[in-house]
Chain A
């Protein structure tokens, strides 16, 4: 067992636990965006930062990826954390104002405006879909490409992937692109599942044991 204190409360947890898990266990709220139980922590959105160590040598780390250490001192809502978090939210709002998830987070943290040039992106590269596809659907149909400004998400060579199971799992987890998977604009979709006219449930043979996340689903609509 590893002993640490979070916001002054001592806690002891199993080795390998993340700071986020430990803090939530104690009931301290930490906002997250790119984190989802059941998927490996990735650390992309930086919303879950907490302050560790003692001033003046303290620093911020993403709690979702940081493993607990013996004697660690954690603060989940110090002034520095709150300031940074609000700026992250501002940046998110500036890029993805249409996302319901981001709007909710912003309102919960009372961030009412952003000061950057407004953009309308439909992906914040949080990697949830990639991990969902790979780790839960065992498909690995989508991934990241490029770096920096040029980083983007998609299928290899931008054609619908052979291994895609058309399950809609990626859409299900996406915090930003709910609006993006529409049959109207298939070229904008990541995997193309939403534009699929023969959904997996129809061809049961091939995908008999898989979950389906497609909503709305063409097949379901027809069945009704």
Chain B
């Protein structure tokens, strides 16, 4: 390698390299960084090398092994230049085909990148959304250099900035330029780099030494951009350091890198050696009379050593402990000499600024936040990796566009920035631009650039606890409030996650967190409380759920969750327990387990939305959830309800009036009657059942099942009064006059929402409820010809399927404004509807519906009305009858605060559909206007306001539950409301305080696990109920799902992991035995 004594010589050499750049030859680029190697890129490299050797491809193909390219989710991958074709997640066997194609200038289509879940091939890197959204002025260079070859770096224009800086009129202009560029320190607080340099430049060192330190002590869990920079492009950092030294007349440079980064150390060491050989480091650099050299220092990897003063102490060979500033290191740093410490990424930006000019740099990024920032994006997101975006980019763009949105089905809830001492920002604030000031204002920090995406399955209390645990070990321990403070914060958080939290804890937590922030010496302590403070600020309800309700909705805190299936069940069924009973063949006991928690076993076995299964440990850990509902069906189909016969208590004098004989009303009545209260159920229709009989179609829930189940719940303490309607035949006041001691309102939500379009009342258009009721209660078939259904909820799907079964119907179309994935109906129902021949036209909606639906959603969430999209609306009628409707197509727009993408109508895309019947199923609401006149509080959606913990309304003695309170909801939630109402009313009647203090729902009964769980007869496939084929079920109302055979059920039950045992094992005979034996010996 040549060594250069003058700028001119060096310039000539650089130019010769730039000119010689051979353009024609295709090049395979592959990541040989730590991340790539971990996922097997070394094997690929070996295969490529061998192929090049064997087939003698040296002149026709080149190979470049680079550092991290950022798209780590897709590792190991190969990019083929010049087309930048990206082949993700490769196996060794794929390589030869790629090599062969590359030589010929072709692509291997089946291996090319596609977006997850899409079939569209992205031919080039530039077409991939992950890259499209980024501005990679720093990171992008990694792809173009082999980190151990200085010539590679020179070839992309490397060291040009240094050349310029050396040749400049004086050194002052470098500082000027950096000042002008408004570059801010990328390591944390964002101190202006120019100012720092200016101060450093002004310092005189008594000993003549002045230090530039590159801080590569990256300690945040999950962050690795500094490593990637140093590993992938060390010369860039070295160039930045030389320029910095030049600007502030420093004499010594140190790269402080942690020992855990061997590859970064290796690359940096090689690069320093090469630069020195070339004359870019050492004495009299390029003949300019400037001496500067760099060495590496290997830190032992304490998080706190990222702090300036601790880092200095660590280099000095002392304990890595921060000290009071002032004096600042700029004045008195390493060995008492002026010392300027810059982060890796800060230095990496310097060459760009000098060669492109501060003005060009200022154009990137936002006001006061110029340039780009690299983030390591990890967590519950599709594309994890390193991303570089201009400062000021909204968080949402990084998460949804570059990151590709949530990796699973759960919604994204928050993002954590800034590492352990950063904070969490909720999804509702994803419009926030990422810059130093906005993040700080939101209670987080930029930090070194960690970004952890969290979804609904992340518990925020647990997150805070995790970071406190990290910090209580990583605090240096000098400041009492940092050391003890983090320990105490952790202790309190731990208590909360164990269910031992009290409301006072919350106060103490906040007070202590503020004290830690206020009274500690260094940046670590001052930001240590951020995880607690920011989660308290944005997720306080989650803390309260843990403390007051003893629930962890993310199912993370084990002591609050117990067996997930049980915790998920709204009526507290113990699925593990009856699954265990099925495994033992004791079906009657299984029935008793089910029935003791749920008065509607047979109904639930058919229409429950299976919250238990969605949380089953097997399912969430990568396997298939236990078919809990199908097993319940198996039990209820073969066991007579009479095996569980509770006897009602002796009749008490007090009476309760229940309005509505739906699942909520009957459950409450049943519960109260068993306690001895006299209950009268007032029902508007002529038979009990509510939504079970009037809206749920018979093919899902046969009528005789409903009737039979209700019969088992009625006893001598219960009286029915049919045809009696509250508001028409009596008032609440009348009921109290009639000596009822309490009233439970549960008459559901039976008013269909309207489209609010002109001609909506013409013949042929029906609200879904009316349509379903007409058929279910009176057998009238209202649909005929081509039927359109508007809506995406369950009732829309039900209506579509019922219509399809009616005699005169020729076809059914369902119109919905978003995509299939976002349909709120249960997946399986949509599936079944499609099989039966219902055509689903997604992304189509009659124009005005958007606003109505939006309103429902917003109202559902918070009772606010939000009408954004308003445009002309058309229903065409002929002679007072529906003729056709005019629709407009939508596209999915931005993600809204709830994490769903908004439908946006595409102007000019209107089209007409000829329809004979239109069923409007865009939602139902309670018919409750009259209740307001009786003094009840009603919200905008017509729902009765209650205390969610007790179901008490604002009127004494009046309770409400079910759809009337929640809006259209599931059967099981109605049953749960009924149970809760019975409990509350009983407490109320006995004049006891409401509600009872909550306890975690943990498994209590010990059931021995199956003796020989051996692999024999075990499957890991989930069993399904047999079902009628679509041909068999069309045009009739036979029940579609059937029961599973005994053998299948037993096998299925054997798959259960028995999550309960973790909580009950100590109650087993074995568990108790040793203790007992010991006792005997003592005797």
- Residues of A with Cβ closer than 8 Å to B? 41-46, 49, 59-62, 65-67, 69, 80, 83-84, 87-88, 91-92, 94-95, 115-117, 124-127, 144, 146-151
**Smallest CB–CB gap between A122 and chain B, Å?**
14
B residues 442-494 near A (Cβ < 8 Å) are 471-481, 483-488, 491
Q: Are A148 and B519 in contact (CB under 8 A)?
A: no
**Smallest CB–CB gap between B470 and chain A, Å?**
9
Q: Are B480 and A124 in contact (CB under 8 A)?
A: yes
Q: 25 pairs across A/B with beta carbons < 8 Å?
A: A42-B478, A44-B480, A46-B481, A46-B520, A61-B324, A62-B324, A65-B324, A65-B521, A84-B518, A87-B512, A88-B519, A91-B488, A92-B480, A115-B504, A115-B508, A116-B491, A125-B480, A125-B483, A147-B302, A147-B473, A147-B474, A148-B483, A149-B472, A149-B473, A149-B483
Contact of B521 among A62, A80, A126 (CB under 8 A): A62
Q: Are B326 and A44 in contact (CB under 8 A)?
A: no
Chain B residue at minimum C-beta to C-beta distance from A49: B519
- A-B CB proximity, top 10 nearest: A151-B477, A65-B324, A87-B515, A148-B473, A46-B519, A148-B475, A60-B518, A46-B481, A84-B519, A147-B477
- Residues of B with Cβ closer than 8 Å to A? 302, 304, 319-320, 323-324, 326-327, 471-481, 483-488, 491, 504, 508, 511-512, 514-515, 518-521
Contacts of A62 in B (CB 8 A): 324, 519, 521
Chain A residue at minimum C-beta to C-beta distance from B310: A147
Contact of B484 among A42, A84, A95 (CB under 8 A): A95
Q: Are B477 and A148 in contact (CB under 8 A)?
A: yes
Chain B residue at minimum C-beta to C-beta distance from A62: B521
**Smallest CB–CB gap between A43 and chain B, Å?**
6
**Smallest CB–CB gap between A15 and chain B, Å?**
12
What separation, in Å, do the CA atoms of A66 and B481 have in the docked complex?
A: 17
Q: Are B479 and A46 in contact (CB under 8 A)?
A: yes
Chain B residue at minimum C-beta to C-beta distance from A47: B480
What separation, in Å, do the CA atoms of A2 and B508 have in the docked complex?
A: 40
Contacts of A67 in B (CB 8 A): 326-327
Contacts of A42 in B (CB 8 A): 478
Contacts of A95 in B (CB 8 A): 484
Contacts of A44 in B (CB 8 A): 478-480
Contact of A116 among B320, B488, B515 (CB under 8 A): B488
**Smallest CB–CB gap between B283 and chain A, Å?**
38
Contacts of B491 in A (CB 8 A): 116-117
**Smallest CB–CB gap between B513 and chain A, Å?**
10
Contacts of A146 in B (CB 8 A): 477
Q: Are B515 and A83 in contact (CB under 8 A)?
A: yes
Contacts of B480 in A (CB 8 A): 44-46, 88, 91-92, 124-126
What separation, in Å, do the CA atoms of A10 and B571 have in the docked complex?
A: 70
Contacts of A84 in B (CB 8 A): 514-515, 518-519
Contacts of A61 in B (CB 8 A): 324
**Smallest CB–CB gap between B508 and chain A, Å?**
5
Q: Are B504 and A60 in contact (CB under 8 A)?
A: no
What separation, in Å, do the CA atoms of A48 and B486 have in the docked complex?
A: 20
Chain A residue at minimum C-beta to C-beta distance from B505: A115
Chain B residue at minimum C-beta to C-beta distance from A42: B478
What separation, in Å, do the CA atoms of A144 and B475 have in the docked complex?
A: 14
**Smallest CB–CB gap between B582 and chain A, Å?**
44
**Smallest CB–CB gap between A182 and chain B, Å?**
25
Contacts of A125 in B (CB 8 A): 477-478, 480, 483
Contacts of A49 in B (CB 8 A): 518-519
Q: Are A94 and B488 in contact (CB under 8 A)?
A: yes
What separation, in Å, do the CA atoms of A58 and B487 have in the docked complex?
A: 27
Q: Are B487 and A80 in contact (CB under 8 A)?
A: no
What separation, in Å, do the CA atoms of A125 and B508 have in the docked complex?
A: 24
What separation, in Å, do the CA atoms of A45 and B519 have in the docked complex?
A: 10
Q: Are B475 and A80 in contact (CB under 8 A)?
A: no
What separation, in Å, do the CA atoms of A117 and B397 have in the docked complex?
A: 44
Q: Are B324 and A43 in contact (CB under 8 A)?
A: yes
Q: Are B483 and A151 in contact (CB under 8 A)?
A: yes
What separation, in Å, do the CA atoms of A49 and B483 have in the docked complex?
A: 16
Contacts of B472 in A (CB 8 A): 148-149
Chain A residue at minimum C-beta to C-beta distance from B474: A148
Contacts of B302 in A (CB 8 A): 147
Chain B residue at minimum C-beta to C-beta distance from A149: B472
What separation, in Å, do the CA atoms of A127 and B480 have in the docked complex?
A: 11
Q: Are B324 and A149 in contact (CB under 8 A)?
A: no
Contact of A150 among B319, B473, B512, B515 (CB under 8 A): B473
Chain B residue at minimum C-beta to C-beta distance from A94: B488
Contact of A144 among B319, B327, B488, B512 (CB under 8 A): B319
Chain A residue at minimum C-beta to C-beta distance from B490: A149
What separation, in Å, do the CA atoms of A94 and B480 have in the docked complex?
A: 12
What separation, in Å, do the CA atoms of A44 and B472 have in the docked complex?
A: 16
Contacts of B488 in A (CB 8 A): 91, 94, 116
Chain B residue at minimum C-beta to C-beta distance from A91: B484
Contacts of B485 in A (CB 8 A): 91
Query: Among B320, B519, B521, which residue has the most Cβ atoms of chain A within 10 A?
Result: B519
Contacts of B511 in A (CB 8 A): 83, 87
Contact of A69 among B304, B326, B474 (CB under 8 A): B326
Q: Are B324 and A66 in contact (CB under 8 A)?
A: yes
8 extra interface residue pairs, beta carbon distance < 8 Å, beyond A46-B519, A148-B475: A41-B324, A44-B479, A60-B518, A66-B324, A84-B515, A125-B477, A147-B477, A149-B483
Query: Among B472, B473, B479, B504, which residue has the most Cβ atoms of chain A within 10 A?
Result: B479
**Smallest CB–CB gap between A60 and chain B, Å?**
5
Q: Are A43 and B519 in contact (CB under 8 A)?
A: no
**Smallest CB–CB gap between B461 and chain A, Å?**
18
What separation, in Å, do the CA atoms of A149 and B474 have in the docked complex?
A: 8
**Smallest CB–CB gap between B321 and chain A, Å?**
8
**Smallest CB–CB gap between B920 and chain A, Å?**
55
**Smallest CB–CB gap between A193 and chain B, Å?**
24
Contacts of B476 in A (CB 8 A): 147-148, 151
Query: Among B304, B477, B488, B512, which residue has the most Cβ atoms of chain A within 10 A?
Result: B477
Query: Among B326, B327, B474, B488, which residue has the most Cβ atoms of chain A within 10 A?
Result: B488
Contacts of B515 in A (CB 8 A): 83-84, 87-88
**Smallest CB–CB gap between B127 and chain A, Å?**
48
What separation, in Å, do the CA atoms of A117 and B492 have in the docked complex?
A: 9
Contacts of B514 in A (CB 8 A): 83-84
Contacts of A69 in B (CB 8 A): 326
**Smallest CB–CB gap between B90 and chain A, Å?**
42
Contacts of A94 in B (CB 8 A): 488
Chain A residue at minimum C-beta to C-beta distance from B475: A148
**Smallest CB–CB gap between A144 and chain B, Å?**
7
**Smallest CB–CB gap between B436 and chain A, Å?**
16
Contacts of B518 in A (CB 8 A): 49, 59-60, 80, 84
**Smallest CB–CB gap between A59 and chain B, Å?**
8
What separation, in Å, do the CA atoms of A24 and B476 have in the docked complex?
A: 30
**Smallest CB–CB gap between A116 and chain B, Å?**
6
Q: Are B319 and A149 in contact (CB under 8 A)?
A: no
**Smallest CB–CB gap between A16 and chain B, Å?**
11
What separation, in Å, do the CA atoms of A162 and B252 have in the docked complex?
A: 39
Q: Are B481 and A88 in contact (CB under 8 A)?
A: yes
What separation, in Å, do the CA atoms of A151 and B480 have in the docked complex?
A: 11
Q: Are A147 and B481 in contact (CB under 8 A)?
A: no
**Smallest CB–CB gap between B393 and chain A, Å?**
28
Contacts of B324 in A (CB 8 A): 41, 43, 61-62, 65-66
**Smallest CB–CB gap between B505 and chain A, Å?**
9
**Smallest CB–CB gap between A100 and chain B, Å?**
18
Chain A residue at minimum C-beta to C-beta distance from B327: A67
Chain A residue at minimum C-beta to C-beta distance from B515: A87
Contacts of B512 in A (CB 8 A): 87, 91
What separation, in Å, do the CA atoms of A60 and B474 have in the docked complex?
A: 22
Contacts of A148 in B (CB 8 A): 471-477, 483, 486
> A43 with B521: in contact, given A83-B515, A147-B475 (CB under 8 Å)?
yes
**Smallest CB–CB gap between A140 and chain B, Å?**
13
What separation, in Å, do the CA atoms of A57 and B12 have in the docked complex?
A: 53
Chain B residue at minimum C-beta to C-beta distance from A115: B508
What separation, in Å, do the CA atoms of A91 and B484 have in the docked complex?
A: 7
Contacts of B487 in A (CB 8 A): 149
